[in-house]
Amino acid sequence: MEKLRTNFAGLELKNPFIVSSSGLTDNAEKNLQLEKAGAGAIVLKSLFEEQIMWQSAHMATDDYPEANDYLQGYLRSHYLEEYTKLVKETKKVCTIPVIASINCYTDKEWEDFATILEQAGADAIELNLMAIQTSVNYQYGAFEQRHIDILKHVKAKVKIPVIIKLGSNLTNPVKLIEQLYANGAASVVLFNRFYHTDIDVDKMEYTSGHVLSHESELSNSLRWIGISSTAVPRMNYVASGGINNGKAMVKAILVGASAVEVCSVIYEKGNNVISSMLKETCEWMDAHGYENIEQFKGKMKARDTENVNVFERTQFLKYFGEKK
């Protein structure tokens, strides 16, 4: 499948299929099997600072504050050691790029975690930025600036590519992406999938909604990659969410993505779905006369970003005007 080769965040991939951060990528043997199944790269399960803090708080006692500090330090070292081990063991058995993923909420930990994982041998770092803003005292633009500041701090410490995985709760993703590119981001992933909240009306308690993504979620990535890849053409884009077959992969590349991050469909159908999706992509390329990805990448991206709103409103009216 030489025709599927692509460049992502400065890394050469044999194909655009990246297994996204999840329980699928939490040990070296699983990662080896994903490579054998055809994956072009893997993003290791995220290292969450909050997981360390939560476990530390859960085990803490009010009687011994010094012991609590020691416990927090011990847990931090333990989790970092385990994650470093995951990076090293995966690099030993896999030949495809191995991307570490971190999710923090304090500046220093973003920097420290990234530095340690670069030293462990990760090929790139994905900053898994995931938060919602709810304060009435929120200052407009502070959320976006936080992304830029985190990137700056990490870039000052590491030399490997830094990838930003964005949430969809942004007023203007294009402007933020432009600033991320200016500050050295190697790629952006659109979009991070938030926890889906639901309610059990009989038990009167919160429950989780759909855990796995649905094909309908792809539309948001298609929209914003299609717009952003025109407005900020030098940035490298990855689509995430709702990619469950080869045609979905083709769609993502058509709007300007270099690769896709996939998770849910592997949970649903197993590792073999990787090769079937790649095969479907190749068959589509053959049917349309494309010999490599670059020949059709961005063919369907926005042509005039100044009039995107007009286009979206016109399509809305056209769609609902035809409904009887």
Whether the CA torsion 87, 89, 90, 96 is positive or negative: it is: positive
pLDDT, tens digit, 9 for 90 and up, residues 122-165:
999 999 887 777 778 878 888 899 899 999 999 999 999 999 99
The CATH code that applies to domain 2-321 is 3.20.20.70
* Residue-wise pLDDT tens digits, 191-224: 987 667 888 899 999 887 777 777 888 999 999 9
Indicate whether 47 pLDDT > 70: yes
Please give the structure tokens belonging to residue 7.
């460049």
> Can you tell me the mean pLDDT for 45-73?
56
Q: What is the pLDDT of residue 213?
A: 77
Q: So where are the chain's domains?
A: 2-321
pLDDT at 129 (0 to 100): 84
H helices of the chain, in order, are 28-36, 49-59, 65-93, 107-120, 142-155, 173-182, 218-231, 246-254, 264-269, 272-287, 308-321
Which whole number is the average pLDDT over 170-181?
A: 94
Is residue 309 predicted with pLDDT exceeding 80?
Answer: no
Q: How many Å apart are CA 31 and CA 41, to the nearest integer?
A: 9
Which residues are 99's β-sheet partners?
43, 124
pLDDT at position 73: 59
Amino acid 72: pLDDT: 58
Longest dimension (CA), the chain: 71
Top-confidence residue, 54 or 203: 203
Residue 190 has pLDDT above 60, yes or no: yes
For tokens 């070296």, what's the residue? 28
The predicted-structure confidence for 5-27, as pLDDT tens digits, reads as follows 999 999 999 999 999 999 999 99
Give CA–CA dist 42/34, Å, rounded.
8
Place of tokens 């040990």: 27
Residue closest to 34 by CA, chosen among 232, 221, 274, 303: 274
Nearest CA-CA partner of 22 in 152, 142, 128: 128
- Closest CA relative to residue 108, chosen from 154, 169, 61, 170: 154
312-323 pLDDT, tens digit per residue, is 666 666 666 665
Residue where the block lists tokens 């194909």 = 15
Identify the pLDDT of residue 171: 85
pLDDT of residue 70: 46
What confidence tens digit (pLDDT) does each residue in 242-297 have? 999 999 999 999 999 999 999 999 999 999 999 999 999 999 999 999 999 999 99
- 3-state SS string over 113-168? HHHHHHHHCCCEEEEECCCCCCCCCCCCCHHHHHHHHHHHHHHCCCCCCEEEEECC
Q: Are 220 and 243 in contact (CB under 8 A)?
A: no
- Who contacts 18 (Cβ-Cβ below 8 Å, separation ≥6)? 8, 39, 40, 41, 42, 43, 99, 238, 259, 260, 261, 262
Q: Summarize the confidence of residues 29-53 as an average pLDDT.
A: 86
